[in-house]
Every structure is written in structure tokens, then in C-alpha cells.
Amino acid sequence: MVSLVYLFNSLLYANTIVMLSVGLTLTYLTTRVPNFAHGSLATVGAYMMFTVAAVVMKESLVSGNISMPLVLGFVLAFLGGAFAGLMEYLIVLRPLKRRGTGSLGLMISTLGVDIFMVGLLNIYADILRGMRPATGVSRDWWLRSYVLSKVAGIPVGVWVSFGVMIGCLTLLYMLLTRTRFGIAMRASIENPQLAQVLGVNVDLVNMASWIIAGGLAGLAGALMAFVVRINPVTGSDEVVAIFAASIVGGLQSLLGGVVGGYIVGLSSTLGTKWLGDLVGVDLAAYKRAVPLIFIIIVLLVAPQGLMGVDWSRLRRRIIGGRSVREERLTVPHAR
């Protein structure tokens, strides 16, 4: 049986993966860059939260007065992640794109950005340690113990996590469907050249997408501190899971990112637990291998992602019905 605490932890983790996978998908759609530094954008947010809650406002945090530190921490986490994302685009990716760097080069450059950011975060963590944070340490810290008090039987952390996640995704949905800039973003994703021709400054759209993706990642990082012990490499280590979620979602739509985020986030936590109980071995240590299994299955079986699969056709094929020709699921990502 899965305990309630374990269930909550799994949900908290899955929420962060959802937010990260939506952001990764967004920048992939607008700028066509698979951003290997996306996880580190989250770590930036986590350390912003840490700076506010555990260093600057540590008295309030320790005295149990957590709302101010958390609110300010989230604001700064958003801003920090958004700033880092925007800088990654402006300083590294835009110049490289303008000089005609191919997708491989762009990918490598984001790896470089990731390593560089991890270096900066390591340095920052060293500096923070000297400032006597409330957690005592600046590595392997978390905020879990501060968000355990219950409201209506459910820990505050869970409320906050769902609140932030649902709030962000709703705002993003409204932006994309109800505002002109949002429609322009969708239009630029589909056909940047035509959008330009109609008067859209596509570069501005790209910048906005990096700000949004970075901000979402920053918030996700701050939320991650409710459930995972944070290190300068925490986000970087999650990047495979984030990609897995986005790939499961098909990298075509933000909704796909949400679905993929929950599938990967929950199966690597609840799934491994359940499987472990079934075979009687503790598989917790291997949960980080789960995203890989998803990547492999999805890319080799349904390269458009689960959202791209024609389910009715698949059902027909499995259940039988009328015999279907040797129809492969369409394969746009494959050569």
C-alpha cells in the first residue's frame, strides 16, 4: 500500500515535472532548441527561494511565519528563472541562431550553459553557506519541514504546490487563447515567417517564451524544495526526466507537456513503489531510470508522443475489428 505521505510527495514531484515539461516544450516550439539547461533554470529558482526564505527572512521562517517568506520566495524564483532563461536566449542562443548554427550546435551550447550555471550555483551555494541559513546547510537542503502543517487534513505544501501549478497553467492558457500576444505566440510557433509578414515581432515572441519558460522553471524549482533535497545539480539531474515528460507529450503542444509530466512524474514515484511492492524489492534507488524507459518506448514505438498516437486506430488494431493494413504510426521525428 502506498501511504498518504508517499502519495503527496509523488504528486508534489509530478507537479514540478509538469511545469518544467510545459516550459521545455514551449521554448522547443518557439525557438526549436532542445534546452538541456532547463533543469538548471529550476535550480536557480530553488536557490532564489532559499535566499529569501532561509537566509534573508530566516527569522520568520523559523518562527513558523512562513507565508511572507514563501510568497516573496516564489516571486523571486519566478524572476530569477525568467532572467536566467532570457539571458540564455539573448546571450547564447540568439547570436548562435543568427550565425546559422545548426540544431546540434545549439544543443551543445545549451549543455555548455547548463554546466556553466551549475558552476555558478555551486559558487553561490558556497557563499550562502557562510550566511548561516535557517536550514543550516546550503546543499541538500529542503523546505519540507516548514510546509507540513495541515489545512483541511492536507499539508500546506500540497495546497501551495497545486495552487501555484494550476494558477500558472491557467494564466498561460488564458494568455495563449485570450490575448492578442498569445495568439501571436501560437501563430509564430506554427509559422514564424507568416507571423512576421503579418507584423509580429517574432524575436519578441521568442524572448517572451524564454521568460515564461524560465519563470515556470524557477517556480517549479522552488516547489521542488518541498519534496526533494536541493543541490546545485538537482535540476541538471532532472533534465532527463523533463525531456522524457516532454517527449511522452509529443513536444507538439503544451497540453502534451502536462500529460507527459504526470505520466513520467507519477510513474517514477508511485510506479516504482508499486512495482517494488509487487516484487518485494525496494526499487526507490532506480526511480531515476524510469524516464529513460519512457523515452525509449515512446521514441521507438510512437515517435510523435502519446498525444500523437491515433488511439482509435490503435484500438482497432489491437481489438481486431476490420483488418488494417501494415500501418505504422506516422513517424515525423524519425528519418
Angle (CA) 157 76 146, round 5°: 25
The interface region with other proteins, picked from 2-10, 15-23, 294-302, 314-322 by CB under 8 A, is: 294-302
- 127 or 154: whose CB is closer to other proteins? 127
Angle (CA) 45 46 52, round 5°: 90
Write the DSSP assignment of 45-114 as a string of letters: HHHHHHIIIIIITHHHHHTT--HHHHHHHHHHHHHHHHHHHHHIIIIIIHHHHHTT--HHHHHHHHHHHH
Residue 174 interacts with other proteins (CB under 8 A)?
A: no
Residue 126 interacts with other proteins (CB under 8 A)?
A: yes
Q: Enumerate residues 6+ apart whose C-beta is below 8 A from 114.
A: 36, 37, 39, 40, 236, 239
The kind and range of the H/E element at 155 are strand 154-155
- 24 or 168: whose CB is closer to other proteins? 24
- 19 or 240: whose CB is closer to other proteins? 240
Q: Smallest distance, Å, CB 34 to other proteins?
A: 4
- 174 or 296: whose CB is closer to other proteins? 296
Point out which residues pair with 155 in neighbouring strands: 150
- 90 or 148: whose CB is closer to other proteins? 90
* Three-class secondary structure of residue 154 per DSSP: strand
Residue 184 interacts with other proteins (CB under 8 A)?
A: yes
Residue 255 interacts with other proteins (CB under 8 A)?
A: no
Q: Which of residues 55-114 bind other proteins (CB under 8 A)?
A: 92, 95-96, 99-101, 103-105, 107-109, 111-114
Considering only CA atoms, which of 218, 69, 75 is closest in space to residue 133? 69
Residue 132 interacts with other proteins (CB under 8 A)?
A: no
Residue 60 contacts residue 68 (beta carbons within 8 Å): yes
- 237 or 316: whose CB is closer to other proteins? 237
Residue 291 interacts with other proteins (CB under 8 A)?
A: yes
Residue 245 interacts with other proteins (CB under 8 A)?
A: no
Give contact residues for other proteins (rule: CB under 8 A). Answer: 34, 92, 95-96, 99-101, 103-105, 107-109, 111-120, 122-123, 126-127, 130, 180, 183-184, 186-187, 190-191, 193-202, 240, 243-244, 247, 285-286, 288-289, 291-293, 295-296, 299-300, 303, 333-335
